[in-house]
Amino acid sequence: MKDAIKIFFKGDVEDSEEILSKYSHDASLLEVRPKVVAFPKDSEDVKNLVRWVGENKNKYADPEMNKDWKDLSITARCAGTDMSGGAIGESIILDFTRYMNRLISFSFAPPSITVEPGMFYRDFEKLTLEKGLILPCYTASKSINAVGGMFGNNSAGERTLKYGKTEDYILQTKMVFADGAEKIVKPIPLNEIVKNGEIYKKIYDLIKNNEKEIGLAKPNVHKNSAGYYIWNVVQKNVFDLNKLLVGSQGTLGIATEITFRLVPEKKYSKLVVIFMKDLQPLGRLVDEILTLNPETLETYDDKTMKLAVKFFPDFLKHKGFFGMIKFMWGFLPEFFMLITSGFPKLIILAEFAGSSEDEVHDKCVKLVEKIENFRLKVHITKDKMEANKYWDIRRESFALLRKHVKGKRTAPFIDDIIVRPEFLPKFLPELDLILKKYNLIYTLAGHAGDGNFHVIPLMDFKRPDTASIITELSEKVYDLVIKYRGSITAEHNDGIIRTPYLEKMYGGNITKIFREIKEIFDPKNIFNPGKKVVTDHMGGTKEYIASHIAMEHDATHRV
């Protein structure tokens, strides 16, 4: 296959044991070995590869002719930080980070930036901050993820509560569709749908013909990445296909350029830390905090805090001598709290931003006054360094688990559930009861403002029943999520790990609509099969999950 592709492909094509092993993993708990990894130089490479795969898909379908070419497909990949298995596949991996990582253009009316999908967010953010601008839907993994992955997953993060998800910042894309043609995709008036081709017309008709059922199926939560996001494609007199393409995990087409809308970055911010010993008033507390319009409203649990204290030296690395002394001094209140009254059940981080230090401090004081009747321990951080110690704990809990707990591995499979905040006081204890039955250690952190929590259990992958526990526990947790009318994934998306549970969440009719969408865009099933839509032997089933769990190593090391 490598030699056949190199005939028309300018970029690199590799199939060494080292490369295939590396690209068998993303940040999920799964292992799927590809046949070859290609690194495109430009959009011509992408178009030529898509055409070649489409032309040869049926020709080489017979395993007797060439078993390595059976089920030809392309899985687009950027940084590989996907925790759902969305960036791994059995055929061709197309990695954009090596070459297609360039800035195309800046614009200031409106403020926007056009880049190739392989650009790392850390490089992207340097460019935007130089202009006083930012893409506010960045993820907790912003130091290692790429913008193409943000588009593919419809990513969100700390500021999503106020600013929205990636879909809210896509002005235009260039997409390569299944016929190998590259097209500009942007919002259009409804009366221009027919002019834009068959895909536009078919998707519009599908949505309009099922309008009532689609409306009833929409989860009543602040964010949702489960299935194809069909709810925002048609709005008033505008049709925006990007609303469907963002979050589709490369199953409908491949982005070669993305234009993001940017917003001004506020210069000053301050953090208020709230310590809760009882979860009962959590829903009411969140409602009160939200009336003051915070930039972020994040949280983590006592297990996460204990990890931070237990493995405190990890936080001192790379801080320098004076930074280390200041950081240690800053943690004295937490050590004192541990000695005098034990750990709180939940730590809430409410961040405010503005154009001056006084403005931000006044917002923090208003919050303290507003929630005084809850009788909670509340602390306004003094400076950015003090605030960063709390953010470090929030962002590093996953890495701490992976690094320090011997004999067990982090297992992200129920890692992105969401229910409305008012249900949290009942939901979280019920979730804890389910996990306790399996005697699992886990951390819980997430976005309290919209009820989105990341649950990361630790598991012994040498146990023969690991696969059955993962599928069984997923069923029980998702039953609980659906009971409270939530979503099985708010921002991490479906990938391999959650696709089998989409019918549980939506029912047969909506998942049939998802299959029709896939068929409209990708009739030969060449784009990232087994994600979003069941493809039996190529993914989308519980059996496929069970047979592709990486049993020997921690996949997070391979990101």
Task: Give the per-residue pLDDT at 396.
Answer: 67
Query: Quick one: 48 and 124 in the same domain?
Result: no
Residue 488 is assigned to a structural domain of this protein? no
What is residue 220's predicted lDDT score, i.e. its pLDDT?
93
CA distances from 454 to 21, 222, 414, 451, 553 (A): 28, 15, 7, 10, 22
Higher pLDDT, 279 or 37: 37
Give percent of the chain with pLDDT exceeding 70.
87
Chain centre to alpha carbon of residue 57? 30
In a domain, residue 46? The reply is yes
Q: Is the pLDDT of residue 292 over 80?
A: yes
Number of domains in the chain: 3
Q: What is the pLDDT of residue 330?
A: 61
Contact 62, 72 (CB under 8 A): no
Q: Tell me the backbone φ, ψ of residue 63, rounded to 5 degrees.
A: -65, -20
- Under the banding of pLDDT at 50, 70 and 90, the label for residue 313 is low
Q: What is the pLDDT of residue 444?
A: 87
User: How far apart are the C-alpha atoms of 44 and 471, rounded to whole Å?
Assistant: 41
Q: Is 437 helix (H, G, I), strand (E, B) or coil?
A: coil
pLDDT tens for each residue of 453-500:
999 888 988 888 999 999 999 999 999 999 999 999 999 999 999 999
Check residue 312 and give its pLDDT: 62
Find out whether 77 and 495 touch, Cβ atoms under 8 Å: no
Reported confidence tier of residue 315, pLDDT bands at 50, 70, 90? low
Of all helices (H) and strands (E), which one includes residue 230?
Answer: none
Q: Residue 265 is which amino acid?
A: E
| The pLDDT value given to residue 316 | 59
What confidence category does residue 332 fall into, taking pLDDT thresholds of 50, 70 and 90? low
pLDDT of 411 > 70? The answer is yes
Residue 372 belongs to domain with CATH number: 3.30.70.2190
Last residue of a domain, one of 242, 264, 286: 264
Q: What is the pLDDT of residue 309?
A: 67
Identify the top-confidence range among 44-48, 394-398, 462-466: 44-48
Task: Please tell me which of 22-31, 440-449, 462-471 the model is most confident about, judged by mean pLDDT.
Answer: 22-31
Q: In terms of domains, do 239 and 294 share one?
A: no
Q: At what angle do helices 302-310 and 332-341 cross, to 10 degrees?
A: 120
Mean pLDDT of 286-290: 94
Token readout for 559 is 């990101």
Looking at per-residue confidence, does 330 or 384 come out higher? 384
Q: Are residues 65 and 126 in the same domain?
A: no
How would residue 555 be classed by pLDDT, with cut points 50, 70 and 90? very low
70 and 126 part of one domain: no
Task: Give the pLDDT score at 378.
Answer: 92
Q: Is the pLDDT of residue 306 over 80?
A: no
**Is pLDDT at 68 greater than 60 in this prediction?**
no
pLDDT band at 554 (very low <50, low <70, confident <90, very high): very low
Identify whether 65 is part of a domain: yes
Same domain, 107 and 222: yes
3-state secondary structure 272-313: EEEEECCCCCHHHHHHHHHCCCCCEEEEEEHHHHHHHHHCCH
C-alpha Rg value of the chain to the nearest Å: 23
Q: What is the mean pLDDT of residues 396-408?
A: 65
User: Is 511 within the bounds of a domain?
Assistant: no
Same domain, yes or no: 228 and 329: no
Sorting pLDDT into bands at 50, 70 and 90, what band is 558? Answer: very low
User: Any bridge partners for residue 519, and if so which?
Assistant: none
- For helices 424-436 and 466-483, angle between their N-to-C axes, nearest 10 degrees: 160
Query: 137 with 216, same domain?
Result: yes
Element counts in the chain: helices (H) and strands (E): 22, 22
Q: Which domain holds residue 145?
A: 103-264
User: What pLDDT, on a 0 to 100 scale, did the predictor assign at position 439?
Assistant: 87
Q: Does 39 share its domain with 168?
A: no
- Sheet strand arrangement including 188-189: 188-189, 238-239, 234-235
Does residue 276 contact residue 169 with C-beta atoms inside 8 Å? no
What are the pLDDT digits (tens) for 182-234? 999 999 999 999 999 999 999 999 999 999 999 999 999 999 999 999 999 99
pLDDT digits (tens, 9 = 90+) for 81-126: 999 999 999 999 999 999 999 999 999 989 999 999 999 999 999 9
How do residues 350-362 score in pLDDT, each as one tens digit? 999 999 999 999 9
Q: Which residue has the higher pLDDT, 45 or 404?
A: 45
Average pLDDT (124-143) is 94
CATH of the domain at 161: 3.30.465.10
Quick: pLDDT tens for 491-513.
Answer: 999 999 999 999 999 999 999 99
Domain boundary among 357, 377, 404: 404
pLDDT band at 559 (very low <50, low <70, confident <90, very high): very low
Nearest Cα residue to 146 out of 120, 109, 175, 124: 120
CA distances from 242 to 163, 175, 312, 432 (A): 18, 10, 44, 38
Asked if residue 227 and residue 159 are part of one domain, the reply reads yes
Asked whether residue 276 falls in the same domain as residue 395, the answer is: yes
Predicted confidence at residue 204, as pLDDT, reads 97
Instruction: Check whether residue 226 and residue 361 sit in a common domain.
Output: no
Confidence bin at 48 (pLDDT 50/70/90): very high
Q: What is the rounded average pLDDT of the residues 45-68?
A: 78
Tell whether the model's pLDDT for residue 254 goes beyond 70. Answer: yes
Two tokens, residue 316: 């001192």
188: helix, strand or coil: strand
Average pLDDT, the chain: 90
pLDDT band at 557 (very low <50, low <70, confident <90, very high): very low
Residue 427 lies in a domain: no
User: How many Å apart are CA 307 and CA 302, to the nearest integer?
Assistant: 9
Residue 299 inside a domain? The answer is: yes
Tell if the pTM clears 0.95, that is, is over it: no
Token pair 């008036």 is found at 189
Q: Domain holding 7: CATH number?
A: 3.30.43.10
Same domain as 190, residue 300:
no
Averaged pLDDT, 515-536: 94
Residue 493: inside a domain: no
Domain's final residue, options 374, 404, 434? 404
153 lies in a domain? yes
